[in-house]
Structure 1
């Protein structure tokens, strides 16, 4: 028998050396230092989840989690530009782009898993956990960065909002950020370490945008051709140095998408400033809008037309690029000019990219709109998933299981999962007064994937998935990998495609939609 393929997930010892083989020491060492913290807090998180869970809270936190995604912001940010709040829209794009990029950068750098399920149950609207690593929480980063920026703007001397409206907006902001951050813990998607670091990262980003945003805006809007080229060059460098993950994680996809969005919004704003349509107040490059002139009907129609322009760009450009780029990439590959990334199939290994490619989209497809509306209309629809759901989950499950087994064989104070079943009152490495915590700790490393159960009160809130009977068998370990949600095949041309498509979206928002508004009588007279 030949040696197994190196990248093939297999049972046994591979889970123990997977990360040490794929990560350099300077990345592996901090990962190993932080991993015990994630394992330590998991039973406490499961205990807290059981204590507070109700069907109503399940629905609330699963639904509000959507408000912390970058997809949510990408859908509604164009409205700020088209309604005359160009500076605010640009600031929020910078915040979200920085949050998504740097949280994804850290995720792929350290490759830390989410807290184990079981004992946690993961509550989502999607029916499965994200394929991303857990540390830090991007939801928390997004929510806190937006909240910090909003609070600073509301409390700044330049704020023109009335005191009563200001107070209401601040209350909404605090409720929003609290719901998102606590929801990540409640839904079993993240631990305290994940959301804590995510909150710190988000606060720093929000503060940086508030302090340095006006300076950066001034640079963009007054730059010459050479000065504006610094932005795409810097973005391409950041995309290139994004760490290679040890597992097939889509963090890089989101980072590329928002790198493109940043490129498009900055270069697009610079270009629009010289347009005859642009207003100079309140800042140069403002898209013309006046509610008194348009009224609610024309404003709504303006938004609809703008969204259709964005969808048209994406629906035309993406399939076109996926069709014409593979031959170009094959030629570049022969010349040795490509730098392929792990988990992306090179152009020489395929002939065409499937037309029905399901992407990890930041901006939804036109065909996704019905499902989005269904989610809004039925907030109680959710899924509860138990067991490993990604490669990172599977490796952590096996590694923790093997760790417990070795400690038991070496006579350590911690017992193996099987021994703990037969001796529920046996000694543990942590002396705890609450037996429930011991039970939850005993479930760690025992998960086999179970189908996500749709909505709702039929699911027992206090009954995590019981452990399988044979936790250390080779068959069970293979089963973990055979049933996890596997990422789809990704193609090298998708990186450039995503960069171009997402750079084009803000360009369409800023430079294409306003002339269309004027043409259709939805513009504002200077």
Structure 2
């Protein structure tokens, strides 16, 4: 209450307007960013409240506003870790919902387990994540206030909280993997073990979002439930979507045009949020992979020898799996680095901005093609270029 009253006085008395286009979200509270700080005029000083309670409210509001700006500029909070086991466990679990996990695990399933498993996971993952990201910016529920919570991640702090897309991704990936591999290995696959692993995986990711202070319990539960409902709705159409993905002549066009249209028509916010860029990254990777799936089927590309989860892996198989993964991830990361620099250079030349200009890279006409082309190249490389390289190296 004091902060709100103080903010009103700051706006009306000290002429510190909060421009809607320049708002920055800090721990669920909107604070002014880049607002006018001109010196108060004589008329302004005459408006200074005469009663001491109002003066106290004004000073308290001003101090809170300054503290918020300082915390915003610092970008992090100071905290003491008392239990390093939980700290590293949940920081690692939180990383299972980040790009580093997607860019390694999803291609791993394509190279070492089975193509059909990878296709189904990528389809579910992209649809679930798009719906989750858009839902955040439509509902506009704030993240938990800080304080009282301590936020261990600041990159996504500008995003809204409901639903938790980490919880959605973890639920979608773990249980779609379970269902796809159970259908593939009906006799050899221990379903109970897979169910327990999927539950533990998704639970750890969900709990990590609470531990890091990025979501409320409702955000996490809502994300997991939405993902489960979408998985149930998509499951009956898996085979149909997979068949069209491999055989339809319109697949490449559909895979590129539809995601691009969705990215360019993403819900607009009053301030910059990384949700649009993250959504473009996901849809771009799925688009590139889909084109790769279709092209491999048209060209009758050589298939990998599927790993049989029910049997102990012999030494030679382990070596092949590690070699495929090492070569594949190395090529994927090199592609990502190369395309980022090339695409950003081309866009910088086209729109006349320096490559290091962060604000320019956040513009719609720059961010969408930059992210989409980069990660569609990553998806295409993982499904087409890397298998060709594996074949040349004798790793199939």
Global fold match (TM > 0.5): yes
**Alpha-carbon distance in structure 1 between the residues aligned to 2:261 and 2:385:** 28
1:235 corresponds, among 259, 263, 269, to 259
How far apart, in 2, do the equivalents of 1:16 and 1:290 lie?
54
Q: CA deviation at 1:84?
A: 4.5
Aligned-partner Cα distance in 1 for 2:32–2:234: 41
Q: Is the 8 A contact 1:277 1:288 kept in 2?
A: no
Whole-angstrom CA distance in 1 between matches of 2:209 and 2:16: 41
Contact 1:294 1:522 in 2 (8 A): no
RMSD: 3.2
Matches within 5 A, 1:390-429: none
Q: Does 1:160 align with 2:160?
A: no
Tell me the equivalent position of 1:352: 354
CA distance in 2, matches of 1:129, 1:90: 28
1:4: how far off? 6.0
Instruction: Give the Cα–Cα distance (whole angstroms) in 2 for the partners of residues 155 and 512 of structure 1.
Output: 29
Deviation at residue 5 of structure 1 after TM alignment = 8.5
In the other structure, the counterpart of 1:106 is 135
Aligned runs of 1:38-437 on 2, under 5 Å? 54-122=83-151, 124=152, 126=153, 130-153=157-180, 159-162=185-188, 165-224=190-249, 226=250, 228-278=252-302, 287-289=303-305, 295-328=317-350, 347=351, 350-354=352-356
Q: Contact (CA 8 Å) 1:101, 1:254: kept in 2 or not? A: no
Aligned to 1:336: none
Kindly indicate whether residue 392 of structure 2 is the aligned counterpart of residue 514 of structure 1.
Answer: no
Q: Does 1:501 align with 2:374?
A: yes
CA contact (8 A) 1:256 1:498 kept: yes
Corresponding residue for residue 482 of structure 1 = none
Q: Secondary structure at the match of 2:146?
A: coil
CA distance, structure 1, for counterparts of residue 85 and residue 113 of structure 2? 38
What TM-score, normalized to structure 1?
A: 0.55
Aligned partner of 2:78 in structure 1 is none
Conserved 8 A contact 1:138-1:198: yes
Any idea what SS the aligned residue of 1:277 has?
coil
Q: CA deviation at 1:270?
A: 0.6
Aligned residues of 1:231 and 1:263 also touching (Cα < 8 A): yes
SS in structure 2 at match of 1:174 = helix
Shift of 1:54: 5.0
Moved more, 211-220 or 179-188: 179-188
Q: How does the TM-score come out when normalised to structure 2?
A: 0.72
Instruction: State the SS of the aligned residue for 1:295.
Output: helix
CA separation of 1:314/1:68 partners in 2, compared to 1, >3 Å: closer, same or farther? closer
Relative to structure 1, is the Cα distance of residues 271 and 294 closer, same or farther in structure 2, using a 3 angstrom cutoff? farther
* Alignment gaps of 5+ in structure 2: 1-13, 34-81, 308-313
Is the 8 Å Cα contact of residues 164 and 215 (structure 2) preserved in structure 1? yes
Contact 1:153 1:210 (C-alpha < 8 Å) held by counterparts:
no
Provide the rounded CA distance (Å) in 2 between the counterparts of 1:507 and 1:16: 42
1:276 Cα offset (Å)? 4.2
Does the 8 A contact of 2:23 with 2:32 survive in 1? Answer: no
Tell me the CA shift for residue 511 of structure 1: 1.2
> 2 CA distance for matches of 1:228 and 1:5?
46
Q: Distance in 2 between matches of 1:171 and 1:516?
A: 36
Give deviations 1:454-510, integer Å, cap 9, x for gaps.
Answer: xxxxxxxxxxxxxxxxxxxxxxxxxxxxxxxxx896254232021011111121111
Q: Which has the higher helix share?
A: 2
Q: Deviations over 1:181-237 (max 9, x none)?
A: 23323432211221122112211232234221211010111112x454233222222
Query: Which deviations, in whole Å up to 9, do the C-alpha atoms of 1:231-261 show, x marking residues without a partner?
Result: 3222222112210122211000110011111
Q: Distance in 2 between matches of 1:184 and 1:322?
A: 32
1:4/1:74 CA distance change after superposition, 3 Å: same
1:306 and 1:15, CA in 2 relative to 1: closer, same or farther beyond 3 A?
closer
Aligned pair count reads 323
Stretches of structure 1 that go unaligned for 5 or more consecutive residues are 19-52, 279-286, 329-346, 359-486
More relative contact order, 1 or 2 (CA 8 Å, 6+ apart): 1
Matched residues in 1 for 2:182 and 2:337: separation?
41
Following superposition, the deviation at residue 180 of structure 1 comes to 1.9
Equivalence for 2:46: none
Hey, what's the Cα distance between the residues in 2 that align with 1:513 and 1:192? 41
Could you tell me which residue of structure 2 aligns to residue 483 of structure 1?
none
